[in-house]
Structure 1
Amino acid sequence: MPAKSSPSFKFRSIQQASVVDQIIETFKHALINGELKPGQRLPSEAELVQQFGVGRSAIREAMKILQALGVVRIQQGNGTYIVDEPTPSILDPLIFALLLETAMSDDLVELRRLFEIGYCELAAQHATEGDWEAIKQAAVALEEYTAQPNPEVEILARLDLAFHHTILKASHNPLVLRLGQAIEELFFASMRNTYLAVNDNLDYATKFHREIMHALHDGNPEKIRAAVEGSLVYWREEVRKLRENHVEL
């Protein structure tokens, strides 16, 4: 693919304070405004130094950060380019921010509700026969283990997470998969005490997985939403009970 030409516009010089942050912010706005396009080659380092009115070290640091964020790709000896299309790694900063949310919170439950409804609807639209089989097997594995006497919390959480991961994969969207895995893993990591609390009522907890699976197979958005919301209402109520009993989450 032939390299696209450097932008015709020029970056404005910036003030010294927070130089690197300002450079990155300028690139963000240039992308939003369409002044920079996917696949476009950037001006040389010397040109960027001149346009921004900053030192080489600031430009180099900004380029390294933009590369780590998945915004640019640096080809040794051939220049720096805006990426042609986003990769899953572009979500890493958001994922790390989510990981800092260590406690079960209403915000986390609400985020999961919105996201789970969305990826379930995508899975209903795009799932293959192989995907349906994987989802069914994951649901059966969870139910069979739940039926055993004294199931271990760690294994329960792992099987529950595996069920949701199979649905995420069925969305066939790598960005949804990467972000969804982070949200689900964070949610389940924060639910360990909740699993312990509902250990005597796991049949009720797992029935929501059957409802989600059937709603997915029917491809009915209203049923999907109802199943997901029913599950999260249940878990939110269990969390409320734990808080009332002063159990640390």
Structure 2
Amino acid sequence: MDLSIEKINLSGTISSEIVKIIKDNLLNGNLKPGDKLPTEKELMEQIGVSRTPVREAIKILEAIGVIQIKRGEGMYITNNLSHFTLNPLIFSLIMHSNDMEELIKFRQHFEVLLMNMIITKEEKNIRPIEKVYQTQTERMNPELSPEELVDIDLEFHFAVLEATNNPFVIEIGKTIYEIIKPKMIHFKNAQNIERTLATHKYYLDLISGKLKFNSSSIVQDMIRNNEEMVNESK
């Protein structure tokens, strides 16, 4: 299948432009759920790019549920496409995912928003968050790989997302974490398990009202914590 391809904008990353090409082909109907995508080599030839950005784009598309890779068969547009997949705001986040420093800053402010949403709810249920935290204290150990540690770490953040009961926030949050996940794996190691658990306990104490909620000081704490965690991994 030949894709409908417009001129690539070289001001951004090539992988993001490839993601945009797939999105545009879905929106204009050239691609539909269940369609088989061209192979990596065919994509390289059609778009006129090297293998690396094609593979990066495929990883992004697979992570957010746009494509499914079937071993020995190829790549397919998933049959379970939802409004999440084609949400312009979600794709906008993906398009700007190369600016990781700004995305991390956005995540910090976003998480303050999450906590404030939960705190100000008339009826809130933070028990699922507490249960995730308790299991993390038992499961996070130095023998796990960075990938495994990040997966356990993100369980807590996903539980916080769900506690907002806001579908817009949940969709945006999940995308933010999927984009940031590779960066988290890069600096996650056994030495900062304690820091991760302490951060989650801090979140819990804020949400439960044990600590006073002050958005500006919380953001500063997050920034400092991230900087220290990155430095520890070097």
TM-score by length of 2: 0.56
Letter of the 1:200 partner, please give it.
Q
Deviation at 1:164, TM superposition (A): 0.8
Deviation at 1:201, TM superposition (A): 3.0
- Contact 1:124–1:217 (8 Å) recurs in 2: yes
> Structure 1 pair 124/166, CA: closer, same or farther in 2 (3 Å)?
same
For the pair 1:178 / 2:167, whether they are aligned, the reply is: no
Q: Distance between the aligned counterparts of 2:207 and 2:96, measured in 1?
A: 29
Deviation at 1:128, TM superposition (A): 5.0
Specify every segment of 5 or more residues in structure 1 that has no aligned partner in the other structure, as ranges.
1-60, 66-86
- Contact 2:142–2:191 (8 Å) recurs in 1: no
> Structure 1 pair 143/208, CA: closer, same or farther in 2 (3 Å)?
same
Deviation at 1:105, TM superposition (A): 2.4
Aligned to 1:158: 151
Aligned to 1:209: 200
For the pair 1:124 / 2:113, whether they are aligned, the reply is: no
Aligned to 2:129: 135
- Contact 2:97–2:103 (8 Å) recurs in 1: no
> Structure 1 pair 211/228, CA: closer, same or farther in 2 (3 Å)?
farther
Letter of the 2:130 partner, please give it.
K
> Structure 1 pair 153/109, CA: closer, same or farther in 2 (3 Å)?
same
Letter of the 1:138 partner, please give it.
V
Larger gyration radius, structure 1 or structure 2 = 1
* Paired residues for 1:91-110 under 5 Å: 92-102=87-97, 105-110=100-105
> Structure 1 pair 210/151, CA: closer, same or farther in 2 (3 Å)?
same
Q: Distance between the aligned counterparts of 1:205 and 1:89, measured in 2?
A: 29
Q: Distance between the aligned counterparts of 2:118 and 2:230, measured in 1?
A: 28
Q: Distance between the aligned counterparts of 1:116 and 1:170, measured in 2?
A: 12
Q: Distance between the aligned counterparts of 1:238 and 1:173, measured in 2?
A: 30
* Paired residues for 1:17-166 under 5 Å: 89=84, 92-102=87-97, 105-126=100-121, 131-146=125-140, 148-166=141-159
Letter of the 2:163 partner, please give it.
A
* Paired residues for 1:228-247 under 5 Å: 229-239=220-230
Deviations 1:141-199 (A, max 9, x none): 222222x3412222221121111111111111111111111112222232111103xx2
Aligned-residue CA RMSD (Å): 3.3
Letter of the 1:190 partner, please give it.
K
> Structure 1 pair 225/150, CA: closer, same or farther in 2 (3 Å)?
farther
Letter of the 1:119 partner, please give it.
L
Q: Distance between the aligned counterparts of 2:142 and 2:136, measured in 1?
A: 13
Task: Give the total of aligned pairs.
Answer: 158
Q: Distance between the aligned counterparts of 2:216 and 2:200, measured in 1?
A: 13
Letter of the 1:210 partner, please give it.
K
Specify every segment of 5 or more residues in structure 2 that has no aligned partner in the other structure, as ranges.
1-23, 29-81
Q: Distance between the aligned counterparts of 1:127 and 1:137, measured in 2?
A: 21
Deviation at 1:101, TM superposition (A): 4.4
Q: Distance between the aligned counterparts of 2:100 and 2:231, measured in 1?
A: 10
Q: Distance between the aligned counterparts of 1:221 and 1:114, measured in 2?
A: 17
TM-score by length of 1: 0.53
Aligned to 2:34: none
Secondary structure, in 3 states, of the residue corresponding to 1:154?
Answer: helix
Q: Distance between the aligned counterparts of 2:156 and 2:209, measured in 1?
A: 18
